[in-house]
Amino acid sequence: MHLLVTRHGETTWNVQNKICGRTDAPLTPRGIEQAHALAQKLCGTQIDTIICSPLSRAKETAQIIQSVCGGELLVDERLIEQDYGIFEGEDRFSEAFLANKRQFACRYPGGESMMMLAHRVYGLLDECKAEHHNKTVLLVCHNGVCRVIHTYFHDLTNEAYTQFSLENCGLLRYSVK
């Protein structure tokens, strides 16, 4: 399986540096442009299946890509962004949030832990490997989910994990055997 992973286009909360987990923040005009640019970049790639988060910013990005590249479009709850609990809507550079981000086994107060997120995302990746052998799959999701997907394929130190970030409509490629 060839796995492509992208983060949704820019949202209003991205521009404001707000922590955006489960809040359904819409794409900005720039986010829509980013999705169209990524679709053009991928137009020569055979994409068999696109799987996206149920949040509108990911679904809209996926639909734009599908309109250019084709492929079956599926929505999977396991790709929804991490639940950041009490930090939702707060400054993403706040000391309290960054300190909690380094505690992988601890839930964000009122939310979920990195380990909980990894459990659901790894399960999806295992299913993709089994069900989409010799196919190309594009996952359209969120920065926190992209970070966890990267750890499925590459070991990261705790520091590298907390610093990992994929820009809006950035693209990661993985080959799965």
What is the tens place of the pLDDT at every residue in 35-92?
Answer: 999 999 999 999 999 999 999 999 999 999 999 999 999 999 999 999 999 999 999 9
70 marked among binding-site residues = no
| Structural domains in the chain plus CATH codes | 2-175 (3.40.50.1240)
Closest alpha carbon to 141 in 45, 9, 36: 9
Considering the entire predicted model, what is its pTM? 0.96
pLDDT tier, 177 (very low <50, low <70, confident <90, very high otherwise): confident
Q: What does the DSSP 8-state code read for residue 11?
A: B
159 marked among binding-site residues = no
107 marked among binding-site residues = no
Choice among 81, 88, 142, 150 that is catalytic? 81
12 marked among binding-site residues = yes
Euclidean distance between CA atoms 48 and 32, whole angstroms: 22
Computed on alpha carbons and rounded to an integer, the radius of gyration of the chain in Å comes to 15
Give the per-residue pLDDT at 176: 85
Euclidean distance between CA atoms 59 and 38, whole angstroms: 14
pLDDT tier, 14 (very low <50, low <70, confident <90, very high otherwise): very high
Euclidean distance between CA atoms 120 and 40, whole angstroms: 31
First to last CA, the chain: 7
Give the per-residue pLDDT at 148: 97
Respond yes or no: is residue 90 known to be catalytic: no
What is the tens place of the pLDDT at every residue in 99-139?
Answer: 999 899 999 999 999 999 999 999 999 999 999 989 999 99
Euclidean distance between CA atoms 81 and 78, whole angstroms: 8
Closest alpha carbon to 58 in 161, 162, 137, 169: 169
Respond yes or no: is residue 72 known to be catalytic: no
The amino acid that residue 62 corresponds to is: A
